[in-house]
Structure 1
């Protein structure tokens, strides 16, 4: 099993993850193999979007290895709690879904301990966990072809913008007569 992740060696990606995420998070490391597998199973040259089914760690791998980010709107994060991602043609919705498959973890017990939270983090053997992730690579994953529902592939337009009559800041008119913050959704006292 090759431990290449896109154009990076595992060691190079490990350091990129450490620098970006703040630590060599197992979820971002495994996410690198997930992104690599998904990209390799898309037709060459298509423009694709990403859908991530968890808000923890996996979005970082997608943003590090693809042009899909939350900022440019090509990455949608749905908090479904599943460790899965999909890359799909932004016009047709055809693509692939890759997920971390617990049924494939038997040979990789430290990965299983981490993923299923069998051992508390302080009791996990980090060196063994990183070694198992590297050795297992894509063997921990499953892939299936998918078709995204039309609602998710519609072009996302920002629409008209106005100044909120209460706070004076700009906001999307589609949010109502006031910005969402002034409607009570801001996190400040």
Structure 2
């Protein structure tokens, strides 16, 4: 993890190999062990029907995809961490999830609230991955923070979306830094989307805070 001042954050997304350690240690969810709204979640295994798959043997250092919010929450808890939420503790809400002074994820992505992108203030197409299968974590060396200690945090925009600790009873749970094609939009530290709590898709990934 990287100490960015008010908290610590994972250097990169959880990898297939790291997630496999979690699966081996935890197995299936124990009754009553998951947060409210995760009662449906009978397995922590990534979505078997997801196009990006879960290939530990051939892609151990790739980010694990196809995990739903409940999987991400459980993984971070098992690792002794938590999904990135409020710097002051607890989950975010619709009033503060984009506030870099409040959101752990946003604070780390924006060099402590100083930039729009991890690498600066303007979009630089090609700096970060735009496809879900563009190599292992940290293979885009300039897709990281601009100044120390943020320059030790990689891939916060581009390739996968990362679950955070913010769920809405109507819209679902929030993903940040989501995959974006440059012809459509640029992926900044405020790029976000809602997905259902049960949704483990081709670009959903995990990064934890502490």
With structure 2 as the length reference, what TM-score do the two structures score?
0.23
The structure whose residues are more often strand, as a share, is 1
